[in-house]
């Protein structure tokens, strides 16, 4: 079961990797639809959300704490000086590599242990608030934005 | 675990339900991005894919076999006479109701049994090709198109 959920996450990660391998800078800088987010914003958003999984899953500190404000708390175009596409692509690859190593080293028991945003008391009542649930939810989040990024395909 | 995966499916289904409750006909008839699929096509597509899960999961025949050709095999705008929005909304609600009943009645063993598109021989080598994997994949598929449908929000 754990393997299926990790495979499902990896499949979505590979879909993002394919876009990184094929999209031009012009595609990344295009809005996915009129007056909506640009590809570059969504890429930064996905890195920022990956990075937040580290503390949420109890894996330690964020590696790119500066990204969350620019690519999640604030909307697209609110900040003028964004990190470059090359930096974001490098950060994406690092974030998924870090997560993959951590995911592969968790035991099934650790997958079903609580994540850090739930108290012991609440977890006793709501045992589904565990690490496995976080990855299920983040996999859907990746798929959601992939549906948007794929609109930039030629 | 099974409960978490069904909850994840239900969360995406509820997101579609919310769009059905709030989108105007004009929104459904708008392209999610320039020259891309219209909302009505994506709604029909989601019903058609839900419907195909019935035979795939061994639950019997499709209820709306006419939809797959129009909303999956063929691209948007290839067919002039589409079902109406009211018909598609009704079919959506019926399809998720049917699936919910079937999902809730499966035992954990049945979730991990093979689906119908894999042979006994292949299943012995690839035990992840089971019903649980189908729902994980279809949940990501729903999230993917929700990312596109949400671009039609005002």
Q: What's the whole-number mean pLDDT along residues B92-106?
A: 97
pLDDT at B1 over 90: no
The architecture that CATH gives domain A2-152 is: Up-down Bundle (1.20)
Q: pLDDT tens digit string along B70-89?
A: 999 999 999 999 999 999 99
Domain boundaries, chain A: 2-152
Min Cα–Cα distance to chain A from B99, Å: 19
In angstroms, the CA A37 to CA A71 distance is 10
Within 8 A of B1 by CB-CB distance, chain A residues are: 1, 112, 132
ipTM over 0.90: yes
Q: pLDDT tens digit string along A89-128?
A: 999 999 999 999 999 999 999 999 999 999 999 999 999 9
The answer to whether the CB atoms of A137 and B8 lie below 8 A apart is yes
In angstroms, the CA B81 to CA B78 distance is 10
What number of C-beta contacts closer than 8 Å exist between A and B?
A: 71
B58: left (phi over 0), alpha (psi -120 to 50) or beta: left
The answer to whether the CB atoms of B139 and A141 lie below 8 A apart is no
> B2, B11, B14, B33: which to substitute to probe chain A, counting the most A Cβ within 10 Å?
B33
Say if A34 is an interface residue toward chain B (CB within 8 Å): yes
Which residues of chain A fall below pLDDT 70?
none
Rg (CA), chain B: 16
Q: Is the dihedral of CA B138, B143, B148, B151 positive or negative?
A: positive
Say if A139 is an interface residue toward chain B (CB within 8 Å): yes
Within 8 A of A32 by CB-CB distance, chain B residues are: 33, 151
List the single residue in B with minimal CA-CA distance to A145.
Answer: B147
């Amino acid at each position: 079961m754990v393997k299926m959920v990790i495979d499902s996450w990896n499949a979505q990660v590979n879909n993002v990797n394919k876009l990184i391998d094929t999209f031009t800078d012009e595609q990344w800088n295009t809005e996915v639809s009129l007056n909506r987010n640009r590809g570059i914003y969504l890429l930064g958003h996905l890195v920022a959300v990956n990075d937040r999984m580290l503390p949420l899953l109890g894996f330690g500190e964020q590696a790119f704490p500066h990204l969350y404000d620019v690519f999640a708390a604030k909307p697209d175009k609110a900040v003028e000086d964004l990190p470059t596409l090359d930096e974001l692509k490098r950060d994406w690859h690092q974030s998924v590599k870090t997560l993959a190593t951590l995911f592969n080293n968790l035991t099934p028991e650790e997958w079903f242990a609580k994540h850090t945003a739930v108290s012991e008391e609440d977890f006793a009542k709501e045992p589904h608030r565990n690490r496995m649930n976080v990855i299920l939810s983040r996999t859907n989040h990746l798929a959601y934005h992939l549906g948007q990024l794929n609109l930039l395909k030629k």
